[in-house]
Amino acid sequence: MHIDRDIKLDFRDVLIRPKRSALPSRAEVDVSREFAFKHSQHRYRGIPIVAANMDTIGTFDMARALAPAGLSVALHKHYGEDELAGFFGSLEVKSSAFYSMGITRADQEKFERVMKRGGAAVQYVCIDVANGYTESFVEFVAKFREAWPALTIMAGNVVTGEMTEELILSGADIVKVGIGPGSVCTTRGMTGVGYPQLSAVIECADAAHGLGGRICSDGGCAAPGDIAKAFGGGADFVMLGGMLAGHAECGGEIVERDGKRYQRFYGMSENEGTITLVRDPWTVPGALAVEGGEKVRPFMAGETLNWKVQD
């Protein structure tokens, strides 16, 4: 075994040192970006924040709410073919939402059917697996790029520079970076695998940008300052899950305790049917209650995402 003794950092380990600025207020900061993707050649302009393809976050309602503000959503994998074809087919312009998929034959066949029925609006695809270090994953990305040269592909997850380079050279425009940093992700505890998120972002961004690729920091953001740190570390996009939970646009079940309403959300792209509850969530004090791969957030009844986007 090799022990890496270099210092590795999470977002909580650092602060951004202030510098003099000509801007009179934080409200004057423009966080939109514009660039072209390496393989698809699509030109992007928007605010590069993406709602995660978690079962209760990456919803159609979330996509409709965020699109007018220039933000994106990675739709979760569990919508049916008819639902996806109906969503994309109803749009008059290309969507900023990512179609999310795995790498099985069933995933590929489902995607091809959706593209035949409503694919004119699809321009972004997120090829998402828990472990991006397999040959089968890299081969799938390469074949998908060959079959769909005009689509912008985000693929992951990985945390090291060499796999970032491998995926970009295989056809990915954006590499999704992060293993285990999410607030409700149990990967690190269950498998012992992971990497401090800020260091992963710094190293993967350096590798990607050297090849003309982009990265998306996925996980680990618990406050707006963490988003700033991810961008400062070189991330081109930042993916958020738990920070967007608890809103009306989310798909989580509403539960009550002591007269207060909460909304469930899940820290993985699998749906709730795959989660085994390991303890009573209400035995954990505080605003968040842990249920294995599940938590709850106070439900903001009647509130939309507008206030959070503006903030």
Q: Answer yes or no: is pLDDT of 283 > 50.
A: no
Model pTM score: 0.86
* pLDDT at residue number 267: 57
Task: Count CB atoms within 10 A of the CB of residue 95.
Answer: 21
Q: Answer yes or no: is pLDDT of 212 > 70.
A: yes
Catalytic residues: 185
Pairing assessment for the beta strands 174-177 and 214-218 based on DSSP bridges: parallel
Q: How far apart are CA 175 and CA 192, in angstroms?
A: 22
Q: Answer yes or no: is pLDDT of 279 > 90.
A: no
Mean pLDDT of the chain: 85
Average pLDDT over residues 266-285: 45
From 4-13, 104-113, 140-149, the region with the lowest mean pLDDT: 4-13
* pLDDT at residue number 99: 98
**75 neighbors 99 (Cβ within 8 angstroms):** yes
Angle at 102 (CA atoms; ends 50, 174), nearest 5 degrees: 40
Share of the chain above pLDDT 90, in %: 64
